């Protein structure tokens, strides 16, 4: 008999669905089931594994309803939506999908940075609206150059370093900040505030979770300044979204490219009205190739666990 697993979230491509369905008795649910969900109650006692996304994760309440749970597999690198210490206490394994998405997420960070500083969506809308034909003025659009400027990377792990390597090719000077020193010869600023003061653009690549919650606050945003650009491909929770919105509205911050939001998929209505922002729906790893590799690695972790083999990518 195939082990029963719960598959949470709405990101699954047909090939991931097929792969998991081959190996497991799968129960798909788009969101974490609410108390009193009869369909879930009927299967909860049989569930031995959960496959979930980086943002849906699992909650302590869900874990409490799954008495036979042995493993939580995250389809993504970030594990901030998973209660790691609770799962460790219960002896439940956790895995994620590092490395296979690094290049595509780093590419996306660069894409979002370029789109933001060159105001790509504004220009696209200009053509579509017939403004080019109508010879409407374009001089108010503040497209900016990258060359010779300083890019500050917050979080200098695998993704941060991959972003830095790409941005060097655009003639940007690179600095970074994280608590522990990263690999030489990259230049680490003395503090996050110093990095924001020294940089023309900040690219957020740090993990989410309690340690980084609200780290990009009003002081950091103001230090980046009226000509500065903020790019967030990390987690919405790392930014004080209200402070960001206010600074973008009144010109204390130049521009922002945002792939993640505090309460996604909700995006503050006022952000939608701004021309100095580029908004995308949490798609850093959204390529056919990365999503296929993430799916395969997630399934490989589940299969290894149920075969009693070492887990390919456990989270410590």
Question: Would you please indicate which residues are annotated as catalytic (active-site) residues?
Answer: 235, 264, 282
User: Minimum Å distance from CB 158 to ligand 8YV?
Assistant: 11
Residue 167 or 233 having the CB closest to ligand 8YV: 233
Residues 6+ apart with CB under 8 A from 86: 60, 63
81 lies in the site for ligand 8YV, by CB under 6 A: no
55 vs 116 by CB, closer to ligand 8YV:
55
Count of residues that interact with ligand 8YV, criterion CB under 6 A: 12
- Name the one residue in this structure whose structure tokens are 């009927």: 42
Beta bridge partners of 154: 177, 204
Q: Are strands 47-53 and 4-8 parallel, antiparallel or unpaired?
A: parallel
3-class secondary structure, 125: helix
Q: Does 101 sit near ligand 8YV (CB under 6 A)?
A: yes
285 binds ligand 8YV (CB under 6 A): yes
CA atoms 73, 74, 79, 81: torsion sign: negative
The total of other beta-carbon atoms located within 10 Å of residue 51's CB is 26
- The residue (of 73 and 189) whose beta carbon lies closer to ligand 8YV is 73
Residue 295 as a binder of ligand 8YV (CB under 6 A): the answer is no
Inter-helix orientation angle 288-306/14-23, to 10°: 10
Piece in contact with ligand 8YV (CB under 6 A), picked from 36-44, 69-77, 150-158, 170-178: 69-77
Consecutive H or E run containing 289 = helix 288-306
Q: Per rule CB under 6 A, is residue 77 in the interface with ligand 8YV?
A: yes
In the complex, the smallest distance separating the C-beta of residue 282 from ligand 8YV, rounded to whole angstroms, is 5
What are 175-182's contacts with CB under 8 Å, separation 24+?
A: 175/150, 175/151, 175/199, 176/152, 177/152, 177/153, 178/154, 178/206, 182/156
* 19 belongs to the binding site for ligand 8YV (CB under 6 A): no
Least distance (Å) between residue 238 CB and ligand 8YV? 12
Assess 53 for contact with ligand 8YV (CB under 6 A).
yes
**CB 8, min distance to ligand 8YV, A:** 10
- Among 78, 83, 155, 236, which residue interacts with ligand 8YV (rule: CB under 6 A)? 78
The torsion angles phi and psi of 219, rounded to 5 degrees, stand at: -65, -40
Please identify which residue in 6, 11, 224, 255 interacts with ligand 8YV, judged by CB under 6 A.
Answer: 11
Q: Which residues would be at the binding site for ligand 8YV (CB under 6 A)?
A: 11, 53-55, 75-78, 101, 282, 284-285
């Amino acid at each position: 008999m195939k082990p029963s697993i719960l598959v949470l979230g709405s990101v699954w491509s047909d090939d991931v669905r097929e792969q998991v369905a081959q190996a497991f008795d799968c129960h798909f649910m788009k969101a974490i089931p609410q108390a009193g969900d009869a369909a879930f109650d009927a299967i909860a006692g049989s569930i031995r594994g959960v496959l979930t996304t980086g943002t849906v994760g699992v909650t302590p309440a869900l874990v409490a309803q799954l008495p036979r749970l042995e493993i939580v597999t995250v389809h993504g690198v970030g594990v901030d939506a998973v209660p790691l210490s609770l799962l460790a206490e219960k002896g439940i394994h956790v895995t994620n999908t590092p490395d296979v998405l690094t290049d595509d997420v780093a590419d996306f960070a660069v894409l979002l940075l370029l789109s933001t500083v060159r105001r790509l969506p504004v220009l696209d809308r200009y053509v579509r609206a017939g403004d080019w034909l109508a010879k409407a003025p374009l001089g108010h659009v503040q497209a900016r150059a990258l060359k010779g400027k300083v890019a500050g990377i917050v979080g200098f792990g695998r993704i941060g370093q991959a972003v830095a390597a790409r941005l060097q090719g655009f003639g940007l000077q690179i600095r970074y900040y994280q608590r522990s020193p990263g690999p030489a010869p990259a230049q680490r600023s003395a503090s996050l505030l110093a990095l924001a003061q020294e940089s023309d653009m900040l690219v957020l690549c740090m993990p989410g979770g309690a340690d980084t919650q609200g780290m990009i606050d009003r002081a950091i945003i103001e230090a980046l300044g009226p000509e500065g650009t903020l790019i967030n491909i990390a987690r919405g929770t790392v930014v004080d979204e209200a402070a960001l919105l206010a600074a973008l509205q009144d010109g204390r911050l130049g521009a922002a490219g945002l792939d993640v939001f505090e309460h996604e998929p909700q995006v503050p209505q006022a952000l939608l009205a701004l021309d100095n922002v580029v908004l995308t729906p949490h798609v850093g790893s959204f390529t056919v190739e990365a999503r296929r590799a993430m799916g395969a690695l997630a399934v490989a972790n589940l299969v290894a666990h149920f075969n009693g083999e070492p887990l390919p990518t456990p989270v410590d």
